[in-house]
Chain A
Amino acid sequence: MTSTTTTKGVLSPRKKKASLPWSGLMFWIIIAIWMIPVAWLVLMSIRPSADILAGLEIIPSRITFDGYITFLSKDIWYGAYLNSLTYSTLNTVMSVTVALPAAYAFSRFSFAGDKHLFFWLLTNRMAPAAVFLLPFFNMYKAVGLFDTNLGVAIAHMLFNVPLAVWILEGFISGIPREVDETAAIDGYSLPRFFIKIFLPMIRSGIGVTAFFCFMFSWVELLIARTITSTEAKPISAAMTRTVTSGGLDWTLLSTAGVMTILPGILAIWFVRKYIAKGFALGRV
């Protein structure tokens, strides 16, 4: 495939100066190829379902906006979309709030069992969601969180809290300790220092962390689908349930797909400068 040949091309020795414009062009060609499936999805969302199934068309012969009209007028669709937005946002706020003091503690203090605790937190980020399906289903039913947006938000904290602690710890460690000490000499108490001085200093880190929490909650399907039925049904579940219930409307399904990409693109735009640092967990 194209990918492997480019790997060789870049790593193999070649003349130094001549390589620069060539590699720039190469990058944009790769990106263009990479974007084809996304373009395909957008294209499907404006073609009638019958046409999609009838055969391959690069340039659509008929265009319809029925998918978008249905999506925005039927509450099983826009309602599910709002559910996903709600629990992702809730999850982001809760995860970041809980993770901030912990990340500060891990970055600044050493305390009994800190290393073990940090490691143990991370293993929860790595834990397969499938392991938690049964207990989540039973527990959330028992405590009345089943099929609520709050329930999904809490369940997603399983992997988002460790991630948030990890990223924030990296960003916080980038701020010199002298800042804390100066504030202490000036008579700031820890909570006041934290809110008045420290939070504004790490706001880019908080932004990136929020982005990641939102994204990972937004894209997750397995847990969200298992602990909801109708009231808090997420958009991803609405889509898979359409698949299993027979008669597929591919136009509508593609429309829903396009709609789910929008919040992410919007969010990336705001954090684009720090996103790479965020992916490196604040450690570069």
Chain B
Amino acid sequence: MKTRNNKAWFLVLPVILTVSFTAILPLMTVANYAVQDIFSPTDRLFIGMDWFYNITNDPLIFNAFKRSFSFSIQVLLIQIPLGIAIARIMPKSGWKASAALVMVAIPLIIPWNVIGTTWQIFARPDIGLGGYLINKFIDFNYTSDPLDGWILILLVDVWHWTPLVILLVYAGLRSIPPAYYQAAAIDGASQVAVFRFVELPKLKRVLMIAILLRFMDSFMIYTEPFVITGGGPGEATTFLSILLSNIAVGQFDIGRAGAFSLIYFLFIQILSFLFFTVLTLQERAEVTKAK
């Protein structure tokens, strides 16, 4: 059991001070913007909840929300199974395992705008290897066809972030004692049965973390579409963060951006809370099972 000790607050204090400055103060500022119509630093008007009403009825924002949400769902549907599949065939020991780990992790350590720049050229039909090869089979032009633009961003995200899922699942698989596999082999269990009854139960926790991180991060995707498609063609890849930063920094429409930010943040809070509840319930269930 943990020791009950309220003095532990002193140990947490530095974190609280830091986060006050990096998160609480900015959020209060945003809330302040959201209830005013600001024409200039000296000329401002308190307008209460008008911006919120304006935001929730704005088709531009609603469409961006739908886009971001379906993007995140597609990201999960592709990356989770693909990550599991690749992690299962990763070498498990020796120098091969080390080499595999380093190579799998490479996409994760490339600055996001560099990933954008690379794919921007790589996917071009005329001078990019990827775009050139695909155009041998089907017409693919991400600068003119909205669907192609969407597919490219999805593909880039799969390339960029599936390694995270692979590494998480790999860590989970490594924690399974070999005896479990031996028992399964004696029973003559098929690969599917081994995955379903030996691996999957042990992977629950890492998969929850993977789903949480992948959903949240893809839901706030900004840099890659910003660099590759600039939110286009048309508005095909104008996700929430892109729209928000356009309103905030591009148009400097402070009040509207503030209200938008608050709603966006609140939605993330609620989702995190749901994920977090499931995660703690799962941990508690495991602890009771262990006893």
Contacts and interface: CB of A to CB of B under 8 A. Distances in A.
Interface stretch (B43-51, B52-60, B217-225): B217-225
B254 to A, nearest CB: 6
Interface residues of A, number: 110
A109 B248 contact: no
A31 interface: yes
A37 B158 CA distance: 13
B209 interface: yes
Nearest to B192: A13
A71 B18 CA distance: 36
Nearest to A41: B118
**B interface: dominant SS:** helix
A23 B7 CA distance: 54
B29 A128 contact: no
B284 to A, nearest CB: 12
A134 B106 contact: no
B22 A158 contact: yes
A37 B122 contact: yes
Interface in A1-52: 1, 3-4, 6-7, 10-14, 16, 19, 23-24, 26-27, 30-31, 34-38, 40-41, 44, 52
Contacts of B23: 124, 127, 132, 158
Interface of B: 2-9, 11-12, 14-16, 18-19, 21-23, 25-27, 29-30, 33, 78, 81-82, 85-86, 88-91, 98, 100-114, 117-119, 121-122, 126-130, 132, 155, 158-159, 164, 167-168, 170-172, 174-175, 185, 190-192, 195, 205-206, 209, 216, 219-220, 222-223, 227, 240-242, 244-245, 248-249, 254, 257-258, 261, 264-265, 268-269, 271-273, 276, 280
Interface of A: 1, 3-4, 6-7, 10-14, 16, 19, 23-24, 26-27, 30-31, 34-38, 40-41, 44, 52-56, 58, 94, 97-99, 101-102, 104-106, 108-112, 114-115, 117, 119, 121-139, 154-155, 157-158, 161-162, 165, 215, 218-222, 226, 235-236, 239-240, 243, 250, 253-254, 256-257, 260-261, 264-265, 267-269, 272-273, 275-277, 279-281, 283-284
